[in-house]
Amino acid sequence: MDIDRITLNPAVMGGKPCLRGLRVTVGTVLGLMAEGISRERITETC
């Protein structure tokens, strides 16, 4: 599994796992997917 797009930095978003180069947490993306929002829509808005 390739996870180099997920970063952890204590100075960004409280140290939560984020998408590399963005202030979008993995938890946010998973929450949106759990609500049924498509990957395409998520990438457009994030």
- Structure tokens, 27: 């938890």
Instruction: Give the separation between CA 19 and CA 25, rounded to whole angstroms.
Output: 6
Q: What is the pLDDT of residue 45?
A: 85
At residue 46 the predicted structure's pLDDT band, cuts being 50, 70 and 90, is confident
> Could you please report the per-residue DSSP string of the chain?
---TTEE--TTSGGG--EETTSS-BHHHHHHHHHTT--HHHHHHH-
pLDDT tens, position by position, 1-44: 667 899 999 999 999 999 999 999 999 999 999 999 999 999 99
Instruction: Give the separation between CA 6 and CA 28, rounded to whole angstroms.
Output: 13
pTM above 0.85, yes or no: no
Q: What is the pLDDT of residue 1?
A: 60
